[in-house]
A and B are shown apart, each in its own frame.
Chain A
Amino acid sequence: MQAKTIKTEGANIPITVDVPYRFAAGSYLAKFLIELRDNGDFYGIKCPACGRVQVPPRVVCAMCHVENTQWIKLKNEGIIKTFTTMYMPLTDPTTGKAHEPPFAYGTVKLDGSDSGIDHMINPGVDPATIKVGMRVKAVLRPKDQRIGDLSDILYFDPIEGEITEGSGNSAPEQKDYGTFEVDQHIVAECRYYVGAIATRFYELLGSKRKLTGVNCKTCKKVFWPPRATCGRCFSALTEEDLVEIGPEGTLETFTKIDYNEPVHPKQGPQVYGIVKLDGADTGMAHLIKVEDYDTLKTGMRMKPLFSDSTNGNILDIMHFEPVAI
């Protein structure tokens, strides 16, 4: 991780958050997606009270609070309720790729349904010719390329024709579609601005290998990490209140982590603990390096080992290790 320390701007730290998810479709959506994948068919579900045919199919009608029971096979054509032509490249988060602009997409109400489906309109069609109310037909991927996702629809294509009723399916479907789960990631590129006091902390750590805490004169306490407000008395704290702490300190608590998460700074078993640096009233959590884990004891004196080059973050301290007796 690299930090920029520009005096007028303040240090900042880029953070990539990559979170994997596994989503379960549930039985209603599973049927919709599997029928689309296997047979190229669209299904809605009808509320026994208000008669609305809902897409995607769902367990309860939100308006009537009753269980939806009657499956309806919809036509694969319908009308455009609304649309837009997008001129910005928007990344499809499920693929990581951008839909290249300009592209038209809209909400299509399939014949027989009361709800719409958002999707692309044929990119070969001149967007200026697209109108609200236009009839369109779903164009699907070939069966061997369909996976049970709305992307099984390539786009909706303008056609001629009149609105017709859905081809109703009055017998309740008994087939068991099994579980349907999909793995996705959300990848977010974030950037954390550390503020003036922390910028100074990182500058002193990076350039002088000096550790600092912030002193609240009212509470007579030195806090690590340095902060702009004392949480106890609400006094404003500034760079003038920074005081040198450590470099050595006392081990307050520690543990060994035997499992791995992608976010860990390194993989494999690792030891970390909290060291209260000399002069500070609160501790610093950090990695601990020790030859024999069983020799670690709370109350031990610890010293930091600094990295050779500046990272612009807390890993300018590589770890703490016991002070040789």
Chain B
Amino acid sequence: MKRNVAIIGGGQTVHAARRHDVNQVEMVNEAVRAALLDADMTMDDIDAVLVGNMEFFEGTHMTDGWLVDGIGTYGKPGLKITTGGTVGSTIVCAGAHHIASGLFDKVLCIGFEKQEEGDTGAILSGVAHPLFGRSMAGAAVGYFAMLGSSYMAAYGAKEEHSAMVAVKSRQNARKNKYAHLKLDITIEDALNSRMLAYPIRLLDMCPASNGATAVILGDEKTAKSHKNKPVWIRAMDTAHNEQFELDWRDVTTTRPIFSKTSAARIYKKLGVTNPGEYFDVFEIYEPATWAEMLWYEDLGICGPGEGFKLIEEGKTEIDGPIPVNPSGGVLATNCIGASAMNRIWEAALQIRGDAGGHQVPKDVNRALTTAYGGTNWTVLVALSSSLDD
């Protein structure tokens, strides 16, 4: 990178099933004020603002135009980004690009979703190709159900493995003040929850949450003189998938799909040979339990077909050797426009030692975050406490 970039502050709302007490701009403003407070900055200190959500999920277009008052963009440079479920992460990368380029020093990045306001099913159907597949309208649940179906057929994993991921996520969420689904559930609860689309049960799937997250990025000079411990963005990568292809729905595919392509490139940039050892914590984007097992494999934390064994052995628990999603992940909180940013902000909190109840009980210096969107691509971001790695 031309110039180094750090996360110097951030904040989020307490993500919830309902936020009838606020409109969109008021909800987003909560996260913005929390971030400015955390960074001990005012809006006048910010050079540019990047904001994003899932396009039209609230039934309102041009959200950047409607949020001006609450996000401080009056008279200020900035732009709106919308890239599906990856948007929270794309915004942070774009913010990093703004600073790395040398054109800006302090950038505010905001992701949000007030999902209760829109008609998710109808709008999500607009993601499908109008003439080739829209009528099927399987939505996210159908997609991940087929992933699970393929995974079980290929590797002999059982529904119990899905339940293990569901339990880990919600029990971690109970330690996270900001998480939506803080559920004290057992394996049995998960296995008994209502079947949505085989093999996905209610507790195997992410919620629809209302919430916002904001992260402030600074250039090296600002970061090094700042009161907060800087969390350096060391590498970023993005890879798209080809439309219409099976990809994650056929776990035996040998095609160079988005997750594997992006992981290989970012590991090459950083010189990583053993990701499970290199990174102290992972925050991955898992809309469903089966996706988490696939992420373990595609990130190379374990070999192909071994993801379900990793969760069975407890290796990815909050106090395990390879903690994955100590925050509770997307399975516990999914305000889609913020979800990918939550991965980055939660990983930053771990590196800062500020995660509170869900802080992993070991030294955290390096973290890897992933994002996923129905646009069928990923964004990987590697964070570190040091500029040396």
A interface, size bucket: 35 or more
Interface string of A145-159 (1 = CB under 8 A from B): 000011100000000
Residue of B nearest to A93 (CB): B125
Residues of B within 8 Å of A99, CB to CB, are 137
Residues of the B chain whose Cβ atoms lie less than 8 Å from the Cβ of A195: 21-23, 25-26
Q: Could you write out 16 A-B pairs with CB less than 8 Å apart?
A: A9-B21, A84-B146, A85-B198, A86-B196, A91-B125, A105-B138, A116-B246, A132-B154, A133-B153, A190-B119, A193-B117, A195-B23, A195-B25, A196-B26, A227-B70, A231-B68
CA separation between A106 and B146, bound complex, in Å?
Answer: 7
Inter-chain contact total with CB atoms closer than 8 Å: 194
Q: How far is the CB of A121 from chain B (nearest CB, A)?
A: 12
Assess the A17–B59 pair: CB atoms within 8 A.
yes
Chain A residues engaging chain B, CB cutoff 8 angstroms: 8-10, 12, 15, 17, 21, 23, 25, 29, 33, 54-56, 58, 62-63, 81-88, 90-95, 99, 105-107, 115-116, 118-120, 127, 131-133, 149-151, 182, 184, 186-196, 198, 227-232, 234, 236
Asked if residues A190 and B137 are in contact (CB atoms below 8 Å), the reply is no
Neighbouring A residues of B333 by C-beta, 8 Å: none
**Known contacts A84-B142, A105-B136, A106-B146; is-contact A189 B22 (Cβ 8 Å):** no
Is B249's beta carbon under 8 Å from chain A? yes
Q: Given A82-B149, A85-B198, are A191 and B131 neighbors across the interface (CB < 8 Å)?
A: no
**In the complex the two chains form, is B69's CB within 8 Å of A230's CB?**
yes
Known: A150-B132, A151-B135. A234 touches B43 (CB 8 A): yes
Contact partners of A120 in chain B: CB under 8 A? 136
Smallest CB gap from A186: residue in B: B126
Given contact pairs A82-B150, A132-B154, a sample of 6 additional A-B residue pairs in the complex whose CB atoms are under 8 Å apart: A17-B119, A84-B199, A87-B196, A182-B131, A195-B25, A234-B42
The answer to whether A196 and B132 have CB atoms under 8 Å apart is no
How distant is the Cα of A313 from the Cα of B242 in the complex, in angstroms? 45
Contact of A229 with B29 in the complex, beta carbons under 8 Å: yes
Which chain A residues lie closer than 8 Å to B117 at the CB level?
190-193
- CB of B20 within 8 A of CB of A29, answer no
* Interface check B116, CB cutoff 8 A: yes
Contact B59–A15 (Cβ < 8 Å)? yes
B33, B60, B131 pick with most chain A CB within 10 angstroms: B131
Ranked nearest first, the 6 interchain pairs of A and B with the lowest CB-CB distance are A190-B59, A84-B145, A195-B23, A231-B69, A188-B119, A132-B153
Task: Give Cα A86 to B114, complex, Å.
Answer: 27
- What are the residues of chain B within 8 A of A236 when measuring CB–CB? 33
